[in-house]
Structure 1
Amino acid sequence: MTASVPTTPATLDVVAIGNAIVDVLARSDDAFLAEHALTKGGMQLIDADMAENLYADMGQAKEISGGSAANTLAGLAALGKSCGFIGQVNDDQLGAVFAHDVRALGIRFDTPAVQGDIPTARCLILVTPDAQRTMNTFLGASQFLPEQALDLDLIRSAGILYLEGYLWDPTQPRAAMRAAIDAARGAGRKVAFTLSDNFVIDRHRADFIDLIDRGQIDILFSNEGEICSLAQQDDFDTAVATIAAKVPVLVSTCGERGAIAIVDGVRYEGPAAPVAQIVDTTGAGDLFAAGFLAAHIDGRSVQDALSLGAAAAAEVISHWGARPEEDLGIIRDKLFL
């Protein structure tokens, strides 16, 4: 199945559907971690009661909106692209924080907040003096994005629909994303999908392969481990070849070795951008996707897209947090002088 020819020009560059999460960062010590039975340096999913109790016990915290697809949009917006986001928050304090942050970036966000006792998703991050981050994630309201919350006209208005694999796991958002794909492809738009994590692939490999086999994915983002998991191959090149034969654009990041893209059967390679000091790798893949897509939208070469992806990823891993702090537009302009 291929997308029909667009009947109207796109008015937005990218609309993304993803988890609406607020990262809550606070400094801590080993005694606090031990008191709350937390595994130092690990990540665990927690329930609502633990999220509320841990949040209440944390020290002074810094709240930064996150979520994989939303992070990618933050990078795209910083690179001058017009964007919209669809994701579920509650009508609570952190929901207001998320909505404010995403709108402050110039990103359209109109999904109605839900009422009730399922709070906005948050990742409670405790940072010890040795810079270890212990993450406790409560997915909350983000797991309950219903199909009826979709703005189909917004989806049809964007040149690219960008979907976050993490959100494929819960039932309601999965149905919503299927409907969004149908709307986008019916309007002749492209669909980009990021695989997100091996655990998502393990649970939903059949769905992802079906989407790919039916030609519903135009741009697929992955890392080395994810593409091997999807193809069920131990060898990276074999895995890439297996999947690239089925999608127009396949992009796979390879950490410090850079990234590759296979576009219409032609393979391109790009190095990682230099970083003076790696502080926090959270969001590296999200910002790589932002840089790649921005260059793609601008009609630049695949090599340029890989370079801008690497530069955006390098910026975000040079500081705490998964949103860019430097002006990505300036980084782009220097890169393409």
Structure 2
Amino acid sequence: MPGTQFDVVAIGNAIVDIIGRCDDSFLDRHGAPKGHMRLVEPATIGKIYETMGPAIEISGGSAANTVVGVASFGGRSAFIGKVAEDEFGRIFRHDIRASGVSFNTPAVVDTGRATSRSLILVTPDGQRTMNTFLGISTDLDQGEVDPEVIKAASIVYLEGYLFDRDEAKAAFRQAVEIANGAGRRVALTLSDLFCVDRHRAEFLALIRSGIGILFANESEILSLYETSDFDEAVKHVARDTKLAVLTRSEKGSVIVSDGTPILVPAEPVKKVIDTTGAGDLYAAGFLYGLARGYELPMAGKLGSFAAAEIIGQMGARPEVKLAHLGRMRGLIG
């Protein structure tokens, strides 16, 4: 979009991801529901960390993964999120900037609150189970929302995980108001099935009042509209927003534009290594394509391509620049 500094600016939880492998019995011993995210205290993460194998530590969080993906495509992206002035805060800040994302939210000093972190356990079938300590990232409020950064974005992307506190909800509504006032597009990801269960009514109100682009996977959209019929959920979402992007794993994705469904096939994957970040990277490809003026089917194809690349490796950071891989495949110029 002319006059914008960034293709995508995201607001979300600033989390340091600690990623390691385990088997199903390890999850059972620690009471971790396979394939889902649960909120835990630092003591629980400590107990799991002590007994797990080798791990890697990188800047994470759903929306942060997405804007790193946009940068990997060669896009211009920024992130707004809250960290403490501690070891994990420094890890997050350095890593996300090194990935090519603008991140200038000031770190918070001496509050007694620690930077958020998530211990991600990956089983041999590639499923990831997240044990997340929502530290200071959930303290995000209107003070962190920089109006000039919001106005400088073609698309503002909001992470549903942040909806657990009233202050963060107020920040979201502030960002929506600023973006809409500046003629920018606003996108929301529902983030997680349990997140939808907790905030269904408020999500629906937000979607209907100012969200132009909605991202959800199949279980999330079914939960949002309290139905077991995907086609029924599509009809509902078509009435509530102009553009919805619904991912369905190996079934591909469905883009619902002005009530019309567009089917996008999944990209083939030789072997699923780790599903961490699949939805986040799909969003990255789609948003990059949308911001750069690609037609919707092609934006969806870029999303499927990015998701397929990320589940073929460990972690949610592309090992090879998506711009390079996309050019090799003839997907981007």
| Structure 1 length-normalised TM | 0.89
**CA apart distance, 1:104:** 0.8
2:157 to 156, 159, 162: 162
What are the superposed Cα offsets for residues 250-302 of structure 1, whole Å, 9 maximum, x if unpaired? Answer: 11011101001011222211110011100111111110111111111121111
Partner amino acid, structure 1, of 2:58: I
- Indicate if the aligned counterparts of 1:311 and 1:331 stay in contact, CA closer than 8 A: no
Between 1:268-277 and 1:127-136, the stretch displaced more is: 127-136
2:268 maps to 274
Change (3 A) 1:26 1:261: closer
- Indicate if the aligned counterparts of 2:122 and 2:274 stay in contact, CA closer than 8 A: no
- Indicate if the aligned counterparts of 1:165 and 1:200 stay in contact, CA closer than 8 A: yes
Change (3 A) 1:31 1:289: closer
Asked whether 1:191 is paired with 2:183, we answer no
2:86 maps to 92
**CA apart distance, 1:170:** 2.1
**CA apart distance, 1:199:** 1.6
2:65 maps to 71
2:231 maps to 237
What are the superposed Cα offsets for residues 22-61 of structure 1, whole Å, 9 maximum, x if unpaired? Answer: 1113466899878xx5136645322134445655676653
Structure 1 residue ranges, 4+ long, deviating more than 4 angstroms after superposition:
26-34, 52-60, 126-134
**CA apart distance, 1:234:** 2.0
Change (3 A) 1:330 1:203: same
The SS at the match of 1:89 is coil
Q: Distance in 1 between matches of 2:100 and 2:182?
A: 24
Asked whether 1:38 is paired with 2:33, we answer no
Between 1:18-27 and 1:299-308, the stretch displaced more is: 18-27
Q: Distance in 1 between matches of 2:127 and 2:245?
A: 30
**CA apart distance, 1:231:** 1.9
- Indicate if the aligned counterparts of 1:72 and 1:287 stay in contact, CA closer than 8 A: yes
- Indicate if the aligned counterparts of 2:32 and 2:38 stay in contact, CA closer than 8 A: no
Matches for 1:109-128 after TM superposition, within 5 Å? 109-115=103-109, 116-126=111-121
- Indicate if the aligned counterparts of 1:279 and 1:318 stay in contact, CA closer than 8 A: yes
2:132 to 126, 131, 137: 137
Between 1:130-139 and 1:235-244, the stretch displaced more is: 130-139
Partner amino acid, structure 2, of 1:241: K
Q: Distance in 2 between matches of 1:28 and 1:260?
A: 33
The SS at the match of 1:117 is coil
Partner amino acid, structure 2, of 1:69: A
Q: Distance in 1 between matches of 2:129 and 2:204?
A: 33
Structure 1: which 5+ runs fail to align?
1-5
| Structure 2 length-normalised TM | 0.90
Q: Distance in 2 between matches of 1:130 and 1:193?
A: 29
Q: How many residues align?
A: 328
- Indicate if the aligned counterparts of 2:212 and 2:241 stay in contact, CA closer than 8 A: yes
Matches for 1:23-62 after TM superposition, within 5 Å? 23-26=17-20, 38-39=30-31, 42=34, 43-52=37-46, 55=49, 60-62=54-56
Q: Distance in 2 between matches of 1:210 and 1:64?
A: 34
- Indicate if the aligned counterparts of 2:217 and 2:246 stay in contact, CA closer than 8 A: yes
Q: Distance in 1 between matches of 2:23 and 2:248?
A: 33
- Indicate if the aligned counterparts of 2:128 and 2:276 stay in contact, CA closer than 8 A: no
1:107 to 101, 107, 110: 101
What are the superposed Cα offsets for residues 56-81 of structure 1, whole Å, 9 maximum, x if unpaired? Answer: 67665321221100001011001111
Q: Distance in 2 between matches of 1:112 and 1:139?
A: 18
Larger radius of gyration: 1
1:316 maps to 310
Structure 2: which 5+ runs fail to align?
none
**CA apart distance, 1:237:** 0.9
**CA apart distance, 1:136:** 2.4
**CA apart distance, 1:126:** 4.8
What are the superposed Cα offsets for residues 113-157 of structure 1, whole Å, 9 maximum, x if unpaired? Answer: 112221111112356789776542111111111211221111111
Q: Distance in 2 between matches of 1:224 and 1:126?
A: 22
2:222 to 216, 224, 228: 228
1:80 to 74, 83, 91: 74
- Indicate if the aligned counterparts of 1:315 and 1:326 stay in contact, CA closer than 8 A: no
Q: Distance in 1 between matches of 2:128 and 2:294?
A: 37
- Indicate if the aligned counterparts of 1:40 and 1:132 stay in contact, CA closer than 8 A: no
Change (3 A) 1:257 1:32: closer
**CA apart distance, 1:335:** 3.8
2:144 maps to 149
1:3 maps to none
Q: Distance in 1 between matches of 2:320 and 2:230?
A: 33
Q: Distance in 2 between matches of 1:40 and 1:46?
A: 10
Between 1:62-71 and 1:231-240, the stretch displaced more is: 231-240
Asked whether 1:253 is paired with 2:247, we answer yes
